[in-house]
Amino acid sequence: MFTGLNHIPVYFLQPLRLFQTYKRQNLRPDLMAGLTVAIILLPQAIAFTLIAELPPVMGLYAAIVGGIVGALWGSCYQAHTGPANAISLLVLSVLLTIAPAGTPEFILAAGVVAVLVGLFQLVMGLARLGMLVNFVSHSVIVGFTAGAGILIIIKQIRHLLGLEFSSYNIFETFRQILTHLPDIHWPTMILGLSTMGFIVLLKKLAPKWPNILISMVITSIMVFLLGLDQAGVEVIGQLPTGFPPLVKLPLFDLEYLSRLATGVLAIGAIGLVQTTAIVRAIAGQTGQRLDSNQEFVGQGLANIAAGFFSGYPGAASFARSAINLKAGAQTPLSAIFASLFVLLVMLTLAPLAAYLPLTALAGVLTITAFYLIDRTEIIRIWQGARGDAVIMLATLFGTLFLRIEFAILVGILLSFAHYLMRTSLPEVFPVTPDESFIHFVRQQPHQLSCPQLGILKISGDLYFGAVQHVEDAICQHLTDHPEQRFLLLRMHGVNQCDFRGIQMLEAIKKRCRERGGDLFLMRLEKPVLDFMKTNGFYDRLGPDHFLTQDHVIGHLFQKVLDPAICIYECNARVFEECQNLPKQTYLTDGPLQTYMPIPEAVNEISPEELHQKLHNGRLPLVVDVREPREFKQGHIPQSQLIPLPKILANASTLPQNREIVVVCRSGWRSARAMCMLQNKGYRQVRILRGGMLAWEAAGLEEVSNN
């Protein structure tokens, strides 16, 4: 009963594996990388918390606890978990549904959301659903982060200008800014803009220096020396010292939790997608093999711990993870060291934050938010597939003008819808050999096609959602090409097939055989072929109808196709086997039709009925219109050989007052001969239904001249 749960303990033993395999020579690079990340993490944690309008200390707690737990239970060696700018904006949107910003209820809800997000992510990991993030389009992340960047910039304007107002949407924010322009606090604005300018300048002149930390230290010193806090410049205030305290959360109030459910799903999903994107990018450089499910478990436990220890939800950070990698981090211990360094600073230097101005943090956030808008990626998506562009724009504008968590879910749903549309509408198109006759390529509209054999490629799975589209496309091709009795399906692009797919193939097989032809399949993937063998379709279609790439056309050309049509009625040379065939189209007064309709049943005679007539004295004239070599291999007793070209050239030698039965290999040449005879005035003409193939299948006697 519990065998499916055997993998769960493995995920929780990740820290044990980490320390058992740790090498002492990695200690120094991990320490240095941790110190480097801590220098960035300290101001970022405070600044990102400002986006969520939570107390700055909560960001530090989330950075410490989330960073340690995420490192211990994650799978990527260089990823760093903690506060993230876009996630912080999403957290603010969710918390505002519970209480106004800054209230005790608002702050308490942040911890509840963190725990719920962590539980969602943990369950996803333990259930091994890490692959689900692959179905969330990259366009959702690009659109959301761009929208979040714009929103963050707009929301920080009031802190940069020293304005006091509240707003809950982009339109109200702009209105309030215009209304309060006369109330700009000039020292605040100058300090904030100076911080932004110094960050940009320092980034150009000394890109390796911690420009954010240096800028914040300088602005704090200016506030202290000039007494700007007394002149109206708003500051953070002294941070509390001590370890992250444990908090009691209302986790059993179901009505309260239901109000947060939608937002929790959005935060959890975006956090996982963002984290997955980061760790994959890092693994692409390091070559590390990742476990998405282990990463989900690590993110889940990190958020649960952050929620219980006075923090708020976070995720892997683009910037800090990249810095950690560049700084030479070898193992997850670098992230643990970074969190411990931040804790050490909190315990010793927290009082210095009393002079850190909010306008400086707003400047930092404005700069970081600007880089969230990936203009290159936006242009690339816009110039690419229309579906991805629609998803990106819908998520971006939804982030700007709707509740953010709703916009995220809309983007994710659009991603799934786009995926379903693409997989349910696989391409089905005719192919033809290339000039070298080695590969098959898409047939162009101007190219001639074989009048007997249609070759279609199916580029997609035959599951219940796609089967109808595939069947419609194949049937449309058969309708457009009624002369093609035989159909070859190239199926190396089909990786999955269900019972609905088998039913579709059965219907196509029936349609082909009703028009006197057959269905053939080639290059099937092993799982698909095994499934067809299991459900009996392999035997019902016939093992000889499953072909490989090598000599497939040669096999059909020699064993299936009608050579008389190739010689006397087809001017195309589609296949390599056609190149050396004699094309004898001079045997009639006018051009031959490449297709004659199959006669109605009234003009047919069954093999059994013909056999009975031949043995009860009512002898019809049996005219075999095949080639001499075919006739010699086996023919109906008392039949007369008159190859189709001779029939078409001169039919006047046949008696007008006697029933004539025309015979060929499968019935196709017979139909042409019958139509020609009827046009010449012959009224008692019938064809052998199914031709010699049907005669042989019925086990009736035949004469061989070999």
**Between 600 and 167, the higher pLDDT residue:** 167
Q: Which pair of tokens denotes residue 475?
A: 């049937």
Q: Give me the pLDDT at residue 596, please.
A: 46
Considering the chain, what is the average pLDDT of its residues?
86
Alpha carbon distance 118, 265 (integer Å): 10
CA 87 to chain centre: 24
Residue 546 falls in which region: left (phi positive, over 0), alpha (psi -120 to 50) or beta: beta
Phi/psi at 116 (nearest 5 deg)? -65, -40
Neighbouring-strand partners of residue 547? 522
What is the rounded CA–CA span in Å between residue 136 and residue 392? 12
Is residue 319 over pLDDT 90?
A: no
CA atoms lying within 13 Å on the CB side of residue 661:
25
What CA–CA distance (Å, rounded) separates 127 from 292? Answer: 11
C-alpha angle 22-26-27 in degrees, rounded to nearest 5: 95
Q: Are 449 and 305 in contact (CB under 8 A)?
A: no
Predicted pLDDT at 457 = 94
Our CA dihedral for 561, 567, 569, 573, rounded to 10 degrees, sits at: 80
Distance (Å, rounded) from C-alpha 701 to C-alpha 695?
8
Query: Quick one: pLDDT band at residue 440, thresholds 50, 70, 90?
Result: confident
Share of the chain above pLDDT 90, in %: 41
Residue 687: pLDDT over 80: yes
What count of other Cβ atoms lies within 10 Å of the Cβ of residue 44?
25
Single-letter amino acid, residue 660: I
Query: Each residue of 110-121: b (16+ CB within 10 Å) or e?
Result: bbbbbbbbbbbb
Whether the pLDDT of residue 636 is over 80: the answer is yes
pLDDT at 2 over 50: no
Beta strand residue intervals within 21-158, DSSP E: 81-82
Residues labelled catalytic: 664
pLDDT band of residue 652 (cuts 50, 70, 90) is low
What does the buried/exposed string (b/e) look like for 349-388 if buried means 16 or more CB atoms within 10 Å of the residue's CB? ebeebebbbbbbbbbbbbbbbeebbeeebbeebeeeeebb
Q: What is the pLDDT of residue 602?
A: 62
* Closest by Cα among 37, 87, 42, 35 to 61: 42
Amino acid letter, residue 92: L
CB 518 within 8 A of CB 482: no
C-beta separation of 660 from 677 below 8 A: yes
Q: What's residue 378's pLDDT? A: 92
Given a cut of 90, whether residue 113 has pLDDT beyond it is: yes
Of 342, 510, 399, 339, nearest to 87 by C-alpha is: 399
Q: Do residues 625 and 569 make contact, with C-beta atoms less than 8 angstroms apart?
A: no
Structure confidence at residue 170 (pLDDT): 82
If residue 427 lies in a helix (H) or strand (E), which one and from where to where? strand 427-433
Given this model, what pLDDT does residue 4 score? 53
Contact predicate 688/610, CB 8 Å: yes
pLDDT at 181: 87
User: What percentage of the chain has pLDDT greater than the value 70?
Assistant: 95
State the pairing for strand pair 453-459/427-433: antiparallel
672-685 burial code (b ≥16 CB/10 A, e <16): bbbbbbeeeebeeb
**What is the rounded distance in angstroms from the CA atom of residue 462 to the CA atom of residue 486?**
21
Give the largest Cα separation in the chain, rounded.
Answer: 127
Residue 447 has phi, psi (to 5 degrees) of -80, 145
CA 278/CA 286 separation, integer angstroms: 12
Q: Tokens for 541, please give them.
A: 């279609």
User: Distance from CA of residue 96 to its chain's centroid?
Assistant: 34
Q: What angle do CA 103, 106, 110 make, to 5 degrees?
A: 145
Please state whether the predicted TM-score (pTM) of the whole model is above 0.75.
no
pLDDT over 50 at 586, yes or no: no
The pLDDT of residue 106 is 95
Q: Which residue spans within 452-525 are E strands per DSSP? A: 453-459, 486-490, 518-522
| Beta sheet of 453-459, edge-to-edge order | 440-442, 427-433, 453-459, 486-490, 518-522, 546-547
Distant-in-sequence, close-in-space partners of 393: CB < 8 Å, separation ≥ 6: 143
Evaluate if residue 120 carries a pLDDT over 70: yes
651 confidence band (pLDDT: 50, 70, 90):
low
Residue 39: per-residue pLDDT: 85
**Mean pLDDT in residue range 459-473:** 92
Tens of pLDDT, residues 183-220: 899 999 999 999 999 999 998 998 888 888 888 889 98
pLDDT of residue 134 exceeding 80: no
Strands (E), 35-94: 81-82
Q: Quick check: 130 pLDDT over 80?
A: no
Which tens digits make up the pLDDT trace of 237-290?
A: 777 778 899 999 999 888 899 999 989 998 998 899 889 888 887 887 888 888
Q: How confident is the model at residue 550 (pLDDT cuts 50, 70, 90)?
A: low
Binning pLDDT at 50, 70 and 90, where does residue 587 land? very low
> With the C-alpha atoms ordered 35, 111, 170, 56, is the resulting torsion angle positive or negative?
negative
End-to-end CA distance of the chain: 69
For residue 60, which of 365, 308, 346 has the smallest C-alpha distance? 346
Higher-confidence position of 40 and 486: 486
Of 248, 257, 353, 264, the C-alpha closest to 309 is 248
Radius of gyration of the chain (CA): 38
